[in-house]
Amino acid sequence: MTDAPTACLIIIGDEILSGRTQDANLKFFGERLAAMGIRLKEARVIPDVADVIVETLNTVRALYTYVFTTGGIGPTHDDITTMCVARAFGRTVIKHPEAVRRLVAFYGHMPNEARLRMAEVPDGPGVDLIDNRVSAAPGYRIGNVFVMAGVPSIAAVMFDAAAPMLQRGDPVFSNHVEADVKEGDMAAELTDIQARYPHVSIGSYPSMRGGKYCTSIVARATDKSAIEKALSEVATLMKKLGGVPEMGSLS
């Protein structure tokens, strides 16, 4: 698992930080990358501030195999992501001829100057367009950075288009078991179970259900049998504590 490709998601937008818009991309990227064996190790939500975007990009692109950005590549004044990506790579911004062609074909006429901003990419080698079959305006890849739209439906189709560019690892599977058991009553034994299964990531998530304390234990690993064995031990522990374990399905 240590050799698996890694990734970071940068969610760009003041509207996310203000709470006006609820992000849906993190869940999508986390699930899709896990299925491809790429470990999403970090996600950052940052504002539409140029210096912050540039600094964040330069930090995380040196740490992870892949970096995905969502947001800030539209036609308005606050869509500054491409300008910042270019700065981070020491490039200037150009209108990509193929991106312009796609926009013209989509709109049926020469788009106005605002829409043509969606054809902008950093100049120089190593820039590949990412198809957008929803609204034509493409994302792009530069180095290990994939620049995508913030609208979830468009980000999803861009990810599908970019997927062939990604190196895959062993897919990560997950399952869970839950019961009306207090998390604190399980803590010591759960630590022992984790020690017996070092290659399984075991997480504990408490909640309230019907006025009772409930704990859900989630196990994630590339080895399906190890997940089943670890959760079987958790279920036995839950029964010992008076709970009635409910096992989920492997995904």
- pLDDT over 90 at 209, yes or no: no
Q: In the chain, where does the domain assigned CATH 3.30.70.600 lie?
A: 173-247
> What pLDDT does 3 receive?
80
> What pLDDT does 2 receive?
53
> What pLDDT does 1 receive?
45
| CATH class of the domain defined by 6-165 | alpha beta
Q: What is the pLDDT of residues 72-101, one digit of tens each?
A: 999 999 899 999 999 999 999 999 999 999
Q: What is the CATH number of domain 173-247?
A: 3.30.70.600
Q: In the chain, where does the domain assigned CATH 3.40.980.10 lie?
A: 6-165
Q: What is the mean pLDDT of residues 174-183?
A: 96
220 Cα distance to chain centroid: 16
First and final C-alpha spacing in the chain: 18
Q: What is the pLDDT of residues 19-64, one digit of tens each?
A: 999 999 999 999 999 999 999 999 999 999 999 999 999 999 999 9
* Surface-to-core class of residue 8, CB atoms within 10 Å of its CB (0-12 exposed, 13-18 middle, 19+ buried): buried
Q: Distance (Å, rounded) from C-alpha 122 to C-alpha 119? A: 10
